[in-house]
Structure 1
Amino acid sequence: MPLVLILITGLILSVEPMASRSAIQPGAVTLDKVEQILAKHDPDGRAGSLMISPLDGTLTLMSGGPGGPGARTVVDLASGEKADSAASNWSGVFMTSRILHEHFVFDLRWMVTVSTIAMLVLIAIGLLMGLPRLRNTLAGWHKGIAWFLLPLVILSPLTGLLIALGISFAGAPQAARAPAPALREAVRMVAAEHDLSAVTWIRSRGGQLMARVNDGTSPTVYAVTRDAVTPLPANWPRLIHEGTFGGSIGSIVNVVTSFALIGLLCTGLLIWAKRKLRKPQRPRRPTAANA
C-alpha cells in the first residue's frame, strides 16, 4: 500500500510543473500589487513567507514561529481580497498529494524512505534475473517495461532516496550565515531582478531566506540576504525527481516514469496472484495397465 500511494501521488505531481509553468502570465504579478496585499493582510509584518500559485491566481501568506506553522492567509491576486478556500482546487490537490508523497500518513516519513529502498531492492532483484524473453504475455510486458525504461525506473526512486537523505551534490551555500531581510524587503529585492509572476515561493529554509523563481526552463533557487539575491547551485536530485528540468520535457519524462512504475507494480502483483491462486496439480495415480 505505501508503494501504491507513493506512485499514484507521484503521477499527480508529475503534471504540476508543466501545469504551473503554462499558467504563468508574465507581468501579471507586480510589485505594487504584492505590496498592497502585504499592507492590507499583513500590516504587522508577521508573515515570514509567501507562495504564489498561477494555477489558482492566489498568493498565500504564511507566518510561523518556534511552535510550528502559524496562520495562512490565501489572497486572490485579481481582487486583493481573501480567497475562498474551496476555490483553490488545484493547489489543494497538489499540496495534499505532495504531503502524502513525502510523509505518507500521520507524518510517517520513515515509511516513505523504507518503501523507496524496497523499490530499489526489487529493481536490483529484477536485474539479477537476467535478460528478458519478450513475449505478448503478462510476464513479457512486465519485463519489457522494466528493461526498455530501466534508466527512468532506477532514477526516480534513487533521486527520491537522495532527497530523503538530504544529498543534493550542491555543496553548502556560501551565504547561509548572512542576515536575512524582512519579507517585504525580500519581495522588493527579488522584484528588482525577476518578474514576480515567475516566483513560486519566498520562504525560510534552514535559517536562510530563499526564493524559488521559474523564469527559465528550470526553476532556480536564490539565497536572499540584505546585501544581494544570489543563485544557489542546482539541486539535481530534486530537479530530476520532480521533473522540473528542461521545461516540459522533465514533466513528460516523469509522467512516463510514473506510468511505467505503476505498470510494473500492477503486472507484478497480477503475476504473483496468478501463481498463488493456481491450483497445484495432483500427481496421477498409476493405473493397473501401467503398473
Structure 2
Amino acid sequence: MLRFWLLRFHRWIALTLSIPLAVVIVTGLILSFEPMVVGAGNPTVTPASISAALVKYDPEGKARSISVRGYDGTLSIGNRNQATIVDLATNERAAAPGTLATVFGTSRRLHENFIYDLRWVVTASTIGMLAMILLGIAMGWPRIRNSVSGWHQGAAWFVLPLVILSPLTGLALAFGITFASPVARPAGAPVSLSEALKIVGAQYDLSRITWVRPLGPTLAARVNDNGEMRVFAVTRDGLKPFARNWPRLVHEGNWSGIVAPMLNVITSIALMILVVTGLWIWGRRKLRKRQPRPARPARGQIVGSTENA
C-alpha cells in the first residue's frame, strides 16, 4: 500500500510540473555546452580592441560593467539604462550578439525565469524534481529490464548522485546559499573599468573574461582560470580571489575544464529520459484503460454452441 501511494504522488508531481520541468531540463542541456566554448580563445579579444571600444562608445567613462563573449568576439558595455554591443573585430556597434550567444542567453533566461519573470515556477519545479527523486528512492531498488519502465528506472539509478546534485545546487542558487564568506571592502580608491582591464590583462588573456562589474563593495572580474570560472576582486594591488561559490560552480559545470560540463550533459540527458519515459508510461496506462474490452458471450450461447456441435 505504501508503494502504491508513493508511486501516485510521484506521478502527480511529474504530471503537474511536466512543462516547466521540460523547459528547465532542455535549457540546462544547452547551457551545459557553454563552459566548453567559453574556454576557447579569440584573437580579436585583446586589451587594445577592448580599450578602443571603450574609448569610442564610453568616452566619459560612465559604464558600470562590461561583458565579454570571447567565442562570439563581442563586447557588451553596460550602464544604468542599456547595453551597447560592439563587434571587437571591427570596433563597430552590433545590433545583437551572434547566434550562439543569443541561444545561450535565451536559454539562460528561460532556465532561470521560465517565461516572463516566473522565477518561482522554476524554484517550485526544482523542489518538485527533488521530491520525485526522493519518492523514487523510497519505492525501493529498481527492476532493470529492456522496457520503457526499465529505462526509466535505470536512468535514475545509474546516475543517481548527479541527478540529486543538479536540483540541490539549483535550489542553493535560488535561495542564495554559497558557503562563502562575505566580500570585504578593499582598501584604497576604487578601480575604474579601464584600470581593471589592465590589471586583469596582466595575468590573463582577456578573451577568458566573462564579465567585469561591481560585486558588493568592490569591482570584480569573472575569469576562466584553467577551466574553472573564478571570481576575483580587482584592486590596485592586483587580483584577490573570492571564496569559491561551490553550488554555482557545480550547477553550471564551471569547476574542472571539460569534465564538469560533460557531467552536466549526462545529467541533463538522464533527466530528459526520465521525463519522456515517465510520461510515456502514464500515457500508455491511460490508453489501455480507455480501450473497450471485448464483450464476453452469454453463458447460454456458449452452451448452445456446444450442443449443436
TM-score, length-scaled by structure 1: 0.90
Shift of 1:28: 4.7
CA spacing shift, 1:178–1:127, aligned 2, 3 Å: farther
State the Cα distance separating 1:175 from its structure 2 match: 3.4
Deviation at 1:284, TM superposition (A): 6.4
Matching residue of 1:172: 182
Establish whether residue 78 from structure 1 lines up as the match of residue 89 from structure 2: yes
CA RMSD between the two structures: 2.2
Aligned to 1:29: 45
Question: CA distance change for structure 1 residues 167 and 58 in 2, over 3 Å: closer, same or farther?
Answer: same
2:228 paired residue number: 218
Structure 1 residues not aligned, in runs of 5+: 65-69
- Equivalent runs, 1:105-254 vs 2, <5 Å: 105-175=115-185, 180-254=190-264
Q: What per-residue deviation string (whole Å, max 9, x for no partner) do you get for residues 112-147 of structure 1? A: 100000000000110011001111111011001111
Residue 11 of structure 1 aligns with an amino acid whose one-letter code is L
Alignment partner for residue 36 of structure 2, among 4, 18, 37?
18
Distance 1:178 1:132 in 2: 61
One-letter amino acid of the counterpart of residue 50, structure 1: I
For the structure 1 residues 138 and 76, does the alpha-carbon distance in structure 2 shift closer, same or farther, using more than 3 Å as the test? same
Q: For residues 93-127 of structure 1, what are the alpha-carbon distances to aligned partners after superposition, in whole Å with 9 as ceiling and x for unaligned? A: 10111011001111111111000000000001100
2:303 matches 1:287: no
Q: Which amino acid aligns with 1:287?
A: R
User: 1:177–1:208: 8 Å Cα contact kept in structure 2?
Assistant: no
Q: 1:81 to 1:117 in 2, by over 3 A?
A: same
Q: Distance in 1 between matches of 2:233 and 2:131?
A: 37
Alpha-carbon distance between aligned partners in 2 of 1:279 and 1:193, rounded to the nearest angstrom: 66
Q: How many residues align?
A: 282
Structure 2: stretches of 5+ with no match in the other structure: 1-18, 304-309
* 1:71 shift after superposition: 1.6
CA distance in 2, matches of 1:50, 1:190: 13
- Counterpart position of 2:11: none
- Alignment correspondent of 1:67: none
Task: Give the AA of the match of 1:116.
Answer: T
How far is 1:278 from its partner? 1.5
- Residue by residue over 1:156-191, the C-alpha shift from the partner in whole angstroms, topping out at 9 and shown as x without a partner, is 111101111111112212337976322122222222
User: Letter of the aligned partner of 1:261 in structure 2?
Assistant: L
- Worse-matched range after superposition: 12-21 or 28-37: 28-37
Greater fraction helix: 2
| Residues 176-185 or 31-40, more deviating | 176-185
What amino acid does structure 2 have at the position aligned with 1:40? Answer: K
Return the alpha-carbon distance in structure 2 between the equivalents of residues 176 and 156 of structure 1: 34
Further displaced range: 279-288 or 130-139: 279-288
CA shift in 2, pair 1:130/1:195, >3 Å: same
Q: Is the 8 A contact 1:58 1:76 kept in 2?
A: yes
Q: Please say if 1:48 is aligned against 2:64.
A: yes
SS in 1 for 2:299: coil
Q: Which residue of 1 aligns with 2:271?
A: 261
Quick one: percent identity of the two aligned structures?
48
Q: Larger deviation: 204-213 or 173-182?
A: 173-182
Q: State the distance in 1 between where 2:225 and 2:203 align.
A: 11
CA contact (8 A) 2:183 2:216 kept: no
Compare 209-218 and 170-179 and name the one that shifted more.
170-179
Q: What residue number does 2:73 align with? A: 57
SS state at 1:223 partner: strand
The aligned amino acid for 1:76 is D
CA distance in 2 between partners of 1:271 and 1:286 (Å): 35
Partners of 1:131 and 1:284 in 2: how far apart? 39
Give 1:83's aligned amino acid.
A
